[in-house]
Amino acid sequence: MSEFIQQLINGLSLGSIYALIALGYTMVYGILKFINFAHGEIFMLGAFSGFYLSRTLGVDQPDIVMALVILVFTMCITSAIGVIIEKLAYKPLRNSSKLTVLITAIGVSLFLQYSGQLIFGADPKSFPTIIENIGFNIFGATIGSNQIVVLISALLLMLVLRFIVKNTKMGIAIRAVSNNLTAASLMGININNVISFTFVIGSSLAGAAGILYSINYPSIDPLMGLLPGLKAFIAAVLGGIGNFPGASVGGLIIGLVETFTVGYISPTYRDAIAFAILIIILLVKPTGLFGKKEIEKV
C-alpha cells in the first residue's frame, strides 16, 4: 500500500507538470488550429531562466520567497519569448497552409535546441535547491515537500487559467476566436491581441512547468524539453486537443501511467508507453476523451 501511495504521488506530481505544458499546446491549437512543436523548448528555457535568475539573485540556500520571485520572473521571460516567436515565425505564415506552419514550428524547435547548446553549453547543469525538500511519512510512503509544492502550484495556475478564460473579457475573446475566428473578427475582436495573449499564457505556463520540473529533477540541459514536450502533446491529444479540462486530465493520466510503468513493470518502457497511448487513442477515439466531433465543410 505504501508503495502504491508513493507511486501515486509521484505520478500526480509529474502529471501536473505535463498538464501545464499541455495547456499551452491546447490553447494555441484552439485559436490557430496548429501544433506549436516549439512549446517544449519554452519549457526548457523556463528551466534555464530559473537557473540563471537564481545565480543573479544570489540564491545559495532554500528560500520560499525567492523561489516565488524566480517563478514569477521566469513566467514573464518565457511569455515574452513566446510572443516574439509568434510575431517572427508564425504571424507571417498565418494565411499559409497548416503543413507550412507545422514545418516552421519544428524548425523553431530545432533552432532553440541547438541555440541552447551553443549559449548554455551541452553539458547538464545542476539546478539550485531553491526549496528545501522535507520528507513527510504518509501511510508508510515518503512524500517530499517539493512534490507538494509542485502539486499546489500547478493546481493554482490551472485555477487562475480557468478564471481568466471564464471570467475576463480577454477570456471571452479567446473562446469566441476559438469558436469562429472570422465571426469574432467581424464582431470587432482584435485577433492579433488575442493570439498574442494566448502565447503569453501558454508560454508562461510552460515556463512555470520548467521551474517545477527542475525542482524535482534538478539536472537540466538544452535538450530536456524534447520528451516532456512530446508527452505533453500526447496528453493534449488524449484529453482532446483544444479542450482545457481535457489537457489537464490527459497530463495527469500520462504522468500516472508513466510512473506506474516505471514502478511496477520496467523503466525501459516509460517513454514507449506514452507513444503507445497516442497510437491507441488515435485509433479508438481520435477526438480524445473530452473532444467533440466536428463537421468539416469541403
**pLDDT tens digits for 52-93?**
999 888 887 888 889 899 999 999 999 999 999 999 999 998
Does residue 165 fall inside a structural domain?
yes
- Unique residue bearing C-alpha cell 541547438: 114
Does residue 243 fall inside a structural domain?
no
- Unique residue bearing C-alpha cell 467581424: 186
pLDDT tens sequence across 109-126: 999 999 999 999 889 999
Domain extent at residue 154: 2-224
**Mean pLDDT confidence for 241-250:** 88
Q: Is the pLDDT of residue 298 over 60?
A: no
Instruction: Identify whether the C-beta of residue 183 lies closer than 8 Å to the C-beta of residue 210.
Output: no
pLDDT, residue 294, reads: 59
In this structure, what DSSP letter does residue 90 have? I
Helices (DSSP H) in the chain: which residue ranges?
Answer: 2-32, 39-56, 64-85, 98-120, 145-167, 169-179, 181-186, 191-216, 226-239, 244-264, 272-284
Does residue 200 fall inside a structural domain?
yes
Region of 151 please: left (phi>0), alpha (psi -120 to 50) or beta.
alpha
Q: Is the pLDDT of residue 156 over 90?
A: yes
Distance CA 87, CA 77 (A): 16
Does residue 151 fall inside a structural domain?
yes
Which residues are registered as beta bridge partners of 136? 143
Q: How many structural domains does the chain have?
A: 1
Report residue 158 as a C-alpha cell. 490551472
In this structure, what DSSP letter does residue 199 have? H
Packing angle, helices 145-167 and 2-32, rounded to 10: 30
Report residue 240 as a C-alpha cell. 482532446
Does residue 73 fall inside a structural domain?
yes
Q: Mean pLDDT over all residues of the chain?
A: 89
Does residue 262 fall inside a structural domain?
no
pTM over 0.75? The answer is yes
Q: Is the pLDDT of residue 280 over 50?
A: yes
119 CA to centre of own chain: 23
Does residue 263 fall inside a structural domain?
no
- Of residues 66 and 139, more confidently modeled: 66
Does residue 289 fall inside a structural domain?
no
